[in-house]
Chains A and B, each alone.
Chain A
Amino acid sequence: MKVSLNTIRNLNKHYGCAEDVSAIGVDKLIKKIETQLAAIEEVIDIGSKYQGIVVVKVMACDKHPDADKLHVCTIDDGGVVKDVERDDNGYVQVVCGAPNVREGLFVAWLPPGTTVPATVGKEPFVLTDREIRGQKSNGMLASAKELGLGDDHDGILEIGGDQKPGSDFAEITGLKDDLVLDMENKMFTHRPDCFGFLGISRELAGIQNMPFKSPGWYVPNPDFPDIEAEELKLEVKNELPDLAPRFSAITMRGVRVGPSPLWLQVEFAELGQKLVNNIVDYTNFYMIETGQPLHAYDYDKVKALSEGEGATIVIRNPKPGEKIKLLNGKEVEPRAEAIMIATDKRAIGIGGVMGGADTEVDENTQNIILECANFDMYSIRRTSMEHGLFTDAVSRFTKGQSPLQNLAILRKIVNEIHEYADGKVASQVVDNNHVNQAVTARASVHPPVEVNASFINSRLGLKLSADEMGKLLTNVECQVGINGDELIVTAPFWRTDIELREDVVEEIGRLYGYDKLPLKLPRRDLQPATKDPQLTVKSEVRSRLAKAGANEILSYSFVPGSLLESVGQDRGKAYEISNALSPDLQYYRLSLMPSLLEKVHPNIKAGFKEFALFEIGKTHGTDNGDDEHGLPREFEFTALVVAADDKLKKSGAAYYQARVYLEALVGHDDLAFKPVSEDMQAYQVTKPYDLNRSAAVSLKGGEFLGIIGEFRPSARRALKLPKHSAGFEVDTLALGRIMSNGSDYVPLMRFPSVKQDMTIQVPAKMPYDELQAFVDKAYTANAPQDSLVNLELVDIYQKDDTASSKNVTFRLTTTGTNRTLTDSEVNKVLDAIALAAKSELGGERI
């Protein structure tokens, strides 16, 4: 919402609303606005652009001797400009190319040394005195466009009225020293009144504890003038009283359509509002002044489209397939629930959104219909969103304007058009009003709010009296009844946001000033705050993996379908995003691994030879079922990928490298690695893996954790993975439960240990864990009395891939708990193990 400070000052003065709200100084006022009203996005110093521009009278205007389209003019500046060449009369010569330049005109002169306002902030053009085709030109006479006051550059700006040559152009246009404040609209989402100057002015007074009184015409039930001219009949039929609770209209005859007066042109230029013609511009101006959109129709065009002898307006839904050409030139087929403004024959506008092209007011218009309506904010928003129509009316109607102000504003625009565009009232006001009668009767949108001063003080931490509060509220025209500690607050008819006690709290706090509230921390007892176990586990996993040299990444929760497919996942099992702007965000990811795999190749390409990436995140899938709230269940996973550039020629399968990382989280003694069962293969999390070289991981004899392994060839190809790449994806919460299991501490040994290596030859196909478990069991069973044993793998040797056997070497560390063991004691143990291995496994000690 843009407001000009000069406009606010003038409004207060003109209507007698309040004292000068900027008396405290602009800087202080801005600071107050920011703490008590809304953020200011930009302060536009518009006044500085107009320094040195002078109103002059064209005294003579002769054709340029050497150019067809140019005139040589002498102008009277009242002698105010210094250091400029003058003739005997004290006049100044300027060459002008405008077709409308003529003797006797008052125009804006940019003397040498001034900057063309339209170029300020772009490429500033500073005027000089120079010769144009042999004729001296001192500066220039300016068009509206050059002055930055609109698009018109067909001729110079004609300043009407009887002006005094030499007046300051900025002074007479109200631009002098003006600042335009661009306030953030978001703050006003619940304040439709602040989409108008009137509302902003009132707030500027209110936050300074200054009383404000609305203009005399701003009342819910004004008197309308009698019909002044031959009647222009108007009938309104409202088929949608819920969506269009109030529709007020009136006709006027004999309007003079033309350009808007200079003050209005200047006003719109400051706000960046487009000029159309005086009738349309007036309706827009009063919208900007009050926040209430207005619309003007060409009466005769509406009548021509109506059945009867007068004009008929019908408010209805669109008919099937009905299209309408709008003022912006576009044709749309409005959604079925849209609010259409129509005649009894066809649609002529989308109510509250945009008028139709066929009934617009143009230069030939003589008679008009003025509409001041109230529409359902939600319906307007839907229609606006669906058709991408964002207009000034939409941004106001979607905040829910009060239906109690319609007549006041309609009355005001009738008055202005009567006075300044010669319009004569040609009908009674038609007020199709479906607003709740109680609301109309009390002239306040919500019932009065009863609230105690102590309630308000307790929410703000203040100690204001009921009277002090009452003053703050009456400043902004609430009616306040005070009864001891109790306030009974009736909001003025334009306020839609004061409904609850808390709304009064907000109002008091803001008008008083939140910056003045005493700050105090809440008191608490000594009860320790509970840490969230889930976040704590994640922290622990993160810290362990980072310590293990891995790098944590975060990647998007949404992935493209092509990524799912490249790793063999089924997009049909994924929650699909229906409205993403980016084509890469199609599905909620089914597991974390594909996102990690995507990051491998770019990092290798960037020169990182070997790394481990991990992510802790949530996954979603339609197979996961619902949680206890009936919402899609979220799984918590930790995934890690190891990768090494092919140039490193790593030996051994990458699978084992990934395993080292998993064991950095959970000790290997606790884990069981089993082939991925057929049941498990149905889970999407297992899809990226090469099942020949992958394992299902679980806690020994217990909880299932996830999957670890290398990746299937198609995934390796699609994601350009190096040969040495593998990873795991495990349930984070299960990890947490394991990680918090007891300690692995082993008491220190008091006697020396005996370490002996032993190699057993077994069939190549025998899984290592089978042999290990066997040896471990035999070792424990045959251990000397009062000893502790420890079994370690030293080596696995296999002659070549086709060999039928492999040699597995273990290191056995035996320690007496109460004596030093002898070699022979330990040798007996080894012999016993060898014997058992031979008889039970067919293994040969080597």
Chain B
Amino acid sequence: MIDQKLADDLKQRAKQGDASVLRSTELKSLFDEIKAMPAEQRSAFGQEINKLREELSELLKANQDAAEALPPIDITAPFDVNTLPDKRPILLPTETGSQHPLMTELDTVLDIFYRMGFTAVESREIDDDFHMFGSLNFPEDHPARDDYDTFMTTQTDKKGKPFIAPAHTSTMQHRVLTKYKDDLEAGKSIAAVIPGRVFRNEDLDPRHEHTFYQLEGIYVDKGVNVGHLIATLKAFLQEYYGKQLEVKTQPFYFPFTEPSFEFALSCPFCDKKGCSICSQTGWIELLGCGMIHPNVLHEAGIDTNVYTGFAWGGGIDRLVMMKHGVEDVRYFESGRLDFLRQFA
């Protein structure tokens, strides 16, 4: 047991804001007492001292908080007492204001897709294994999961699986397909884009962020084919860059599309002559896409004999970096005003 008087004295000093109490000889002597104790009492006594120490820290903090406390104000008034008319709070000049360049770009992109007839749905930031993988035809332990370094939580869902910070906006595919399924049956197409924040558990460098933005797109109807997919993306990109472009596809593999492609466009910055943006290749690989895998449509209850569709996904950060020549992706989430105010 700690001597009550000693403890009270220390607490009193802490209450009065004496920061030296944590380094005091009295407190040290308590630690010294441990050594002299029978082994079986040591742990309990040690815990008691640590508790006292924490209490003292809290008291000191409370004292400091009290010392720094400011008087109450009239929260219902529009300005403070005795402020002269020219010192009253006003907004900063409009010129200093800015929207985040990623969000500005997203608005531009969304506007084009709205005009093309796509609706939009925002993606989630916490999801479950079923939406991130299961509903997208990724079996358990499938090697394709290796390509997504997902963040997971210690908390688990109802099936006992960790929640996942989505690594792609495709995590919304199943929800969107399910939501608009009835429209399909009523003779309309499903046309939606899904912007959102996605996460990859990887180390940062000028070209890699663990947090970035993607835009997913889905189109389902009767008789949709690969030519429609490529034509749609080409039409979007030509509108976005305001010029005629060439596009090409490379075969790729995603579990949730079949066939799958990587999609590239002729470099709009140098018109295929070769520049630093396209690494002198004349081409820019921009997104992944493909025809929605029948298992994904099935999972959403869509009849794959009648309907087919395509989906794509691409990064927003990259578009902005290329457009403005931003050299380091980490600036986007840095909150640096010298960066942000350039986009005023």
Contact = CB atoms under 8 A, between A and B. Distances in A.
Contact of B210 (A518, A552, A582): A582
A547 B251 contact: no
Contacts of A392: none
A399 B140 CA distance: 14
A461 B107 CA distance: 32
A64 interface: no
A579 B201 contact: yes
Interface stretch (A44-52, A487-495, A781-789, A794-802): A794-802
A119 interface: no
A542 B107 CA distance: 11
Interface of A is mostly: mixed
A43 interface: no
Contacts of A602: 335-336
B335 A588 contact: no
B68 to A, nearest CB: 4
Contacts of A612: 92
Given A514-B249, A630-B158, A631-B126, A659 B151 contact: no
A429 B97 CA distance: 77
Interface in B43-100: 61, 64-65, 68-85, 87-100
B234 interface: yes
Interface string B98-121: 111011000100100111111111
B134 interface: no
A661 B337 CA distance: 18
Contacts of B232: 521-522
A818 interface: no
A653 B77 CA distance: 11
Interface in A751-783: 767-770, 772
- For A189, A522, A710, A716, the residue with the greatest tally of chain B CB atoms inside 10 Å of its CB is A522
A186 B252 contact: yes
Interface in A495-516: 500, 502-503, 505-506, 509-510, 514-515
B83 A652 contact: yes
Interface string A355-389: 00000000000000000000001110110010000
Contacts of A714: 61, 64-65
Nearest to B74: A768
Nearest to A548: B91
A692 B94 contact: no
Nearest to B80: A652
- For B113, B117, B139, B259, the residue with the greatest tally of chain A CB atoms inside 10 Å of its CB is B259
Interface residues of B, number: 122
Contacts of A661: 91
- For B162, B235, B258, the residue with the greatest tally of chain A CB atoms inside 10 Å of its CB is B258
- For A188, A382, A598, A653, the residue with the greatest tally of chain B CB atoms inside 10 Å of its CB is A653
A657 B91 CA distance: 8
A668 B81 contact: no
Interface string B173-201: 00100000000000011010001010101
A692 B70 contact: yes
Given A551-B337, A611-B337, A634-B125, A531 B152 contact: no
B341 A551 contact: yes
Given A634-B125, A693-B75, A575 B210 contact: no
Nearest to B224: A522
Given A378-B140, A519-B230, A552 B151 contact: no
A393 B293 CA distance: 29
B248 interface: yes
Interface stretch (A29-37, A136-144, A820-828): A29-37
B103 to A, nearest CB: 6
B60 to A, nearest CB: 11
Contacts of B72: 692-693
Interface string B303-340: 00000100000000000000000000000110111101
- For B69, B99, B211, B223, the residue with the greatest tally of chain A CB atoms inside 10 Å of its CB is B99
Contacts of A797: 81-82
A221 interface: no
Nearest to A596: B335
A459 B304 CA distance: 11
Interface stretch (B4-12, B20-28, B142-150, B270-278): B142-150
A367 to B, nearest CB: 36
A531 B92 contact: no
Contacts of B188: 525, 527
B211 A557 contact: yes
Interface of B is mostly: mixed
B225 interface: yes
Contacts of B340: 551-553
Given A377-B143, A519-B234, A187 B126 contact: no
Interface string A373-415: 0000111011001000000000000110000000000000000
B97 A546 contact: yes
A652 B118 contact: no
A219 interface: no
A506 B337 contact: no
Nearest to B341: A551
Given A187-B251, A575-B126, A713 B64 contact: yes
B78 A659 contact: yes
Interface string B195-231: 1010101111000001100000001010111111011
A613 B116 CA distance: 34
A550 B75 contact: no
B114 A549 contact: no
Nearest to B258: A502
A613 B335 contact: yes
Given A514-B226, A514-B249, A631-B128, A659 B89 contact: yes
A529 B74 contact: no
Contacts of A557: 125, 165, 197, 199, 211
B259 A398 contact: no
Interface stretch (A155-163, A240-248, A532-540): A532-540
A599 B335 contact: yes
- For B75, B225, B341, B344, the residue with the greatest tally of chain A CB atoms inside 10 Å of its CB is B75
Interface in B224-264: 224-228, 230-232, 234-235, 248-253, 255, 258-259, 261-262
B76 A554 contact: no
Contacts of A555: 333, 335
Contacts of B302: none
B126 A554 contact: no
Contacts of B163: 575, 631-632
Contacts of A595: 335
B331 to A, nearest CB: 10
A535 B110 contact: yes
Contact of B154 (A546, A551, A576, A694): A576
Interface string A602-637: 110010101111000010101000000111101000
Interface in A545-596: 545-558, 575-582, 585, 588, 595-596
Nearest to B144: A189
A463 B211 CA distance: 44
Given A461-B226, A575-B155, A581 B103 contact: no
A186 B147 CA distance: 9
Contacts of A379: 141
B91 A549 contact: yes
Given A187-B252, A655-B75, A659-B89, A519 B100 contact: no
A545 B92 CA distance: 10
A218 to B, nearest CB: 24
A385 B195 CA distance: 32
Given A187-B252, A506-B258, A618-B197, 12 more contacts: A459-B291, A500-B258, A534-B122, A548-B97, A552-B99, A575-B154, A575-B163, A588-B126, A613-B335, A651-B84, A713-B64, A767-B76
10 contacts: A187-B250, A460-B225, A506-B259, A514-B226, A519-B231, A521-B235, A557-B197, A656-B89, A657-B89, A796-B79
Closest 10 CB pairs of A and B: A549-B92, A599-B335, A461-B227, A652-B80, A769-B76, A378-B141, A768-B77, A506-B259, A695-B75, A713-B68
